[in-house]
Structure 1
Amino acid sequence: MVTAPPVIDFGPFYGDDAAKKADLVQQVRQACERHGFFQIINHRIPSDIQEAILQQAREIFGLPLEVKEKYSREIDPVNLGYERLRAQSFGEGPGDLKESFYLCRDFPPGHPLIGRFSLGLNKYPKEMRDLALFQSTANRYHTVMADLAVDIFRVLAQTLNLEEHWFDSFCHDSANIMRLLRYPPQPANGLERGIGAHTDFGGLTILLQDDKGGLQVWDRESSQWADANPVPGALVVNLGNMLMRWTNDRYLSNLHRVINTSGQERYSVPFFISGNLDYLVECIPSCKAATEEAKYPPITVEEWLEARYADTYGGAGVGELSTDVVEAHVMTRS
């Protein structure tokens, strides 16, 4: 039987009920081991900012192609800005049926993080109907999602029998990237992919999706794709390859894809949490026995990201790893 990623009530994290908090930790632990994916409700991200960022995505992709191309992510080396339709390809075919726009945290000129992995000065299309609104909405969304990421990592710490704040230094000055995505309607021939099967290569991804559906997650036990159907107000959380490595493969970074069969345009906003670029990722102590060797050597976040990006650029983008690189590794864990 195909099992979809669970929907988990995150509200107990903000409450005082110890039993409900413990149940939340247990549910997240099971989801990390079984799926590498889960959806959360009652996460305190206001519905108005969710709808506002989706509306800005609709507007930016409604600009003429020649305007969007002026803000192409290929113009400078930090990979921010517009990515044209079919620029990525996860698998065979003409390229994935989507277009995107990358944004990082809004840095002031001269900030020391500018120029490091996928961080720099954002490109804000002056042709937007309300440029100030676009900029403020993107920045507000970045802020609230970064805060939520800290909360999720505090639950993850407890799932690994760590002190709640164990991941805080990893999250400080995290190299977070937001990606606005538009998926056109797909022909009903079964050959197209909005985005082909892949894993994310950072620490954690928090995804806002509209109500059109199309996200599928690989269910290892049934060896079939499971639909992660949209739940009103919910956010999808999935683990990346760096966290899988960090936990000595205890937790799963799972394959997922999008097939937009809704007959309408689909919009989503993944928020990639990669961590502090200087942070040293080495096997979490609770993820191996005292006499056991770690499967992977220590590596800094920036070294990991740059190596993965070098492996996948041309077929995958910031925060994603293509099927041909990781599928065998992921599937052998079933």
Structure 2
Amino acid sequence: ENLKPGTTSWASACNEIREALEEYSFFEVVYSKPSREFLEEILSSLREVFHLPAEVKAKNVHPKLGHGYMGKIPGFPEGLGIEYATNKEECQKFTNLMWPEGNDSFCYGLEKYYESNAESTIYLLKLLKYGRSRGETNVGFKAHMDKTFLTLLYQNHVRGLEIKTKDGQWIPYQPSSPASFAVIAGDVCMAWSNDRIKSSYHRVIVTGNEDRYALGLFTFLRGVIETPQELVDDEHPLKYRPFEHEGLLDFYQASNDPNKRDRNIVKAYCGVN
């Protein structure tokens, strides 16, 4: 359905999203615009890039933690990053880095996928692979909260994403469609909403023999982030001082706390005492 701002259907959808985020810090979107063939092409491209030699993937370097290549580290997926991925030139630079001789189909797929998001705040694309090595009983990603505003995930048919509910239960995410995207609230969304929306505590556990491939769009906000006045009242006093997303990421990366993945890092960074 085409939702237009100001219409009844738009207001209803916004209310459903708000309720889902407040209750679960998570919701699913079924985006029917991409064809099934195109989605399969995306997953095929993921497999292709991860089958490149390790020394080629290692060229994807970045000073920010998690924004470049991460090899096979226990408790983490293998990952590649494309910063400012809504910029076609950045996609081309990544493609040229991985395939100096050229790979038009890979670059075209990225450009086509992001065309409708060119003006959005999304700027980091993560290509993720969860693959078991010999001797491992299972693989995945340790439980954590994202340092984003929102995270959008698209995966192949191999399941593994689990969301922790308010009552402490781990709920496995089962996509309702091959065109399903998971939307996860991050730490910055929590601070912006004055804790009305909690940051999602989630993990990935893969127990089968197949590799799990996923594509993640991570949103980061520019400028000063402040809680809207309408979200602050006597029952909900201000909990976070104005801050910048970049500063939060620097604070997190500089922390030597071994348990920082489990901490409310945004509260430590800019929480009101």
**TM-score interval w.r.t. the shorter chain?**
0.7 to 0.9
Q: Which residue of structure 2 aligns with residue 155 of structure 1?
A: none
TM-score, length of structure 1 as denominator length: 0.68
CA 1:78–1:131 in 2, change beyond 3 Å: closer, same or farther?
Answer: farther
Residues 177, 271 of structure 1: 8 Å contact kept: yes
Residues 202, 305 of structure 1: 8 Å contact kept: no
- Match for 1:235 among 155, 174, 181? 181
Aligned partner letter, 1:85? K
Match of 1:262, SS? coil
After the TM superposition, which of the residue ranges 266-275 and 284-293 deviates more from structure 2? 284-293
Residues 193, 259 of structure 1: 8 Å contact kept: yes
| Structure 2 Cα separation of the partners of residues 268 and 108 of structure 1 | 21
Residues 188, 261 of structure 1: 8 Å contact kept: no
Residues 37, 254 of structure 1: 8 Å contact kept: yes
Match of 1:27, SS? helix
Percent identity of paired positions between Structure 1 and Structure 2:
23
Q: Displacement of 1:99 after TM fit?
A: 0.6
1:258 aligns with 2:204: yes
- Match for 2:144 among 160, 182, 198? 198
Aligned partner letter, 2:212? R
Match of 2:251, SS? helix
Residues 57, 80 of structure 2: 8 Å contact kept: no
Matches within 5 A, 1:319-330: 322-323=261-262, 325-326=263-264
| Structure 2 Cα separation of the partners of residues 312 and 206 of structure 1 | 28
| Structure 2 Cα separation of the partners of residues 311 and 43 of structure 1 | 41
**Unaligned 5+ residue runs, structure 2?**
268-273
TM-score, length of structure 2 as denominator length: 0.81
Q: What do the CA deviations read for 1:59-87 (whole angstroms, capped 9, x no partner)?
A: 01111223322x1425x56965422111x
CA 1:129–1:257 in 2, change beyond 3 Å: closer, same or farther?
Answer: farther
CA 1:32–1:80 in 2, change beyond 3 Å: closer, same or farther?
Answer: closer
Residues 76, 142 of structure 2: 8 Å contact kept: no
Match of 1:212, SS? coil
Matches within 5 A, 1:1-334: 11=1, 13=3, 18=8, 20-42=9-31, 44-69=33-58, 71-73=59-61, 80-86=67-73, 95-104=74-83, 105=85, 122=94, 124-127=96-99, 131-144=103-116, 146=117, 174=121, 176-185=123-132, 192-221=138-167, 223-232=168-177, 233-275=179-221, 277=222, 279-289=223-233, 293-311=237-255, 322-323=261-262, 325-326=263-264
Superposition CA RMSD, Å? 3.5
CA 1:271–1:259 in 2, change beyond 3 Å: closer, same or farther?
Answer: same
